[in-house]
Amino acid sequence: MPDIYVAGKHKPSASVRLSRTTEDKKGMDKNMEKGEGLEKKGGKRREAVEYSEVMRDARQTTNPLAAFAVQPAVTFETQQKEEQVLLLLRRHFLTNFKWLAAWVLMLIGPIFLARLPFFEVVPVRFAFITTIAWYLLAVGYFLEQFLSWYFNVYIVTDERIIDVDFYSLIYKEIASTKIDQIQDVTYQVGGAIRNLFNFGTLSIQTAGEKREFEFEDVPQPQKVTQFINELIMEEEQEKLEGRVR
């Protein structure tokens, strides 16, 4: 195959070869500069602490029972490869007070019943079996309520928000929407207890399939709202700068 740089049978002079070599080198340098410029323009996603005041002021949470967990070491079923969990939220622990009080009454109930006069005529074997069955029921009640609180979570990642509704060990519902589909975020803190212990409900309006998300009774709702708004601003900034997601 003929060389595309050769015209006919004449070979280029040394000066021409040198000139072309210099031009080629300059062209390569320009291409490299353009490539570097594109790489800088595209770049990588920033860490949350770079754009979020909430993340800068918080420490990573290691407590597995935390209701407000910052950058927890957890994963979830629909998590994407490079998606990072930035916030994991549960209902405030005080929302467990009612069922915990009922559970304590279930535990101490047989003790008071055993002191009643009619219990003296109850056969010992029957009383024993009934007591064991009652405490098994109490354990089952505790596990049901605790698992419902523990696995009903709200997750905020660097790409979307996720609402996990846990109904049982074999059934749950997961809804999510991308950050750029969020249109409005508001929160409400009503009542003396909620104001005293700083927890409330977030309402998130979206343009996605699910129009509204509610984060019920989560701790520090003002910080959660601020952080989601910071994510929205970062998403818009990424689009302007052409950074990859």
Average pLDDT, the chain: 83
Residues in the chain: 245
Domain 65-91+152-237 sits in CATH at 2.30.29
For residue range 38-97, list pLDDT tens digits in order: 334 445 678 888 888 999 999 999 999 999 999 999 998 889 988 999 999 999 999 999
Average pLDDT over residues 118-124: 78
Query: Is the separation of the CB atoms in 118 and 44 below 8 Å?
Result: no
For residue range 19-41, list pLDDT tens digits in order: 444 444 444 444 444 434 333 44
